[in-house]
């Protein structure tokens, strides 16, 4: 049986890494950083989006589907073994082959005994220059067969994790639904970067928008946020563009949006902080956003546009 007696503090780690065209090499990098985080006392370790490969969505290529795996499968078994060996809760990322023609961008969460605590299939799928994800990924299920929402936290021995993925981070609805379902931490594995031809001012605006919106989710829901991103320049395999420079800047912030740790834009690293698990309750007593929500007046949020 997995112990859930973890006290009032929780040491968490976010891994920021470069990725290789060789899946084994990328996973070896992840493993090295996971082991270091665990050695330093992390109880929860979070990896970035699609950490086992380079970001293949820069182009549309049917051969890429050969990278997809079932769950359980080789990568999930690999991560499960690490979680069990190191006795950590581990959040990883897999290009999932659910069935013929149905593939997902999936976060997997393994508990300290290596069991699959749950998975989250990315709900919002972008389709932008350099980020052609709709070609590869089916959106996650809005509702599961047992009636659960797609935005359901994953119960682990370190608490309820509100796991979302990258493009989901721009949607306040996703964060709020996770919070309303009891999430204790919001987690955003990410792969985001600049078109290398963007000028410095545009790069700065994009980066600050990315950081600010996620800190806003922390503030609006009084929850800590863990957001690991990758680093490095990855070429466009098609040669149609100059590739993407992934901007790193992984961060962990507290439930008032305060930075607890933040990485730079170039280096592999581990961000490690100790969260006070009582802060959300304390803050919600003096900033009672959830109490004052006017749910009777929000019906139009379910419309695509208001007529």
The answer to whether 164 and 176 are in contact (CB under 8 A) is: no
- Any idea what DSSP says for residue 143? B
Question: Of the residues 11, 23, 57, 122, which is catalytic?
Answer: 122
The answer to whether 68 and 23 are in contact (CB under 8 A) is: no
C-alpha distances in angstroms, 133 versus 3, 111, 246? 38, 29, 16
Helix (H) or strand (E) holding 177: helix 172-180
What is the rounded distance in angstroms from the CA atom of residue 10 to the CA atom of residue 110?
17
Residue matched to tokens 């990098």: 29
Coil, helix or strand for 87? coil
- Give the tokens for residue 193: 């970067």
Question: Of the residues 23, 49, 57, 253, which is catalytic?
Answer: 49
Question: Of the residues 166, 184, 234, 253, which is catalytic?
Answer: 166
Residue matched to tokens 């929780």: 10
Residue 122 is a catalytic residue:
yes
Coil, helix or strand for 126? coil
Count the Cβ atoms, other than its own, within 10 Å of residue 285.
10
Count the Cβ atoms, other than its own, within 10 Å of residue 115.
15
Catalytic annotation, residues = 49, 122, 166
């Amino acid at each position: 049986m997995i112990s859930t007696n973890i006290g009032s503090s929780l040491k968490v780690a976010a891994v920021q890494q470069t990725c290789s065209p060789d899946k084994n090499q990328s996973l070896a990098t992840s493993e090295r950083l996971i082991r270091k985080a665990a050695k330093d006392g992390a109880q929860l370790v979070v990896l970035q989006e699609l950490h086992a490969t380079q970001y293949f969505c820069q182009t549309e290529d049917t051969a890429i589907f050969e990278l997809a795996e079932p769950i359980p499968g080789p990568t999930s078994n690999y991560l499960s073994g690490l979680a069990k060996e190191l006795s950590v809760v581990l959040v990883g990322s897999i290009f999932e082959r659910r069935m013929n023609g149905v593939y997902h961008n999936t976060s997997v969460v393994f508990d300290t005994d290596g069991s699959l605590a749950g998975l989250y299939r990315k709900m919002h799928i972008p389709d932008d220059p350099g980020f052609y994800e709709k070609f590869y990924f089916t959106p996650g299920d809005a509702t599961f067969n047992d009636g659960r929402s797609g935005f359901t936290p994953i119960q682990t021995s370190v608490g309820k994790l509100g796991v979302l993925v990258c493009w989901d981070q721009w949607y306040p609805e996703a964060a709020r639904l996770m919070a309303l379902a009891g999430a204790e931490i919001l987690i955003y594995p990410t792969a985001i970067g600049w078109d290398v031809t963007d000028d410095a001012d545009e790069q700065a605006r994009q980066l600050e928008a990315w950081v600010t919106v996620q800190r806003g989710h922390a503030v609006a829901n009084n929850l800590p946020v863990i957001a690991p991103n990758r680093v490095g320049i990855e070429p466009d395999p098609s040669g149609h563009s100059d590739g993407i420079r992934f901007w790193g800047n992984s961060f962990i912030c507290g439930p008032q949006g305060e930075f607890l740790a933040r990485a730079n834009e170039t280096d592999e690293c581990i961000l490690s902080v100790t969260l006070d698990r009582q802060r959300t309750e304390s803050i919600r007593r003096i900033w009672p956003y959830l109490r004052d929500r006017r749910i009777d007046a929000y019906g139009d949020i379910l419309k695509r546009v208001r007529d």
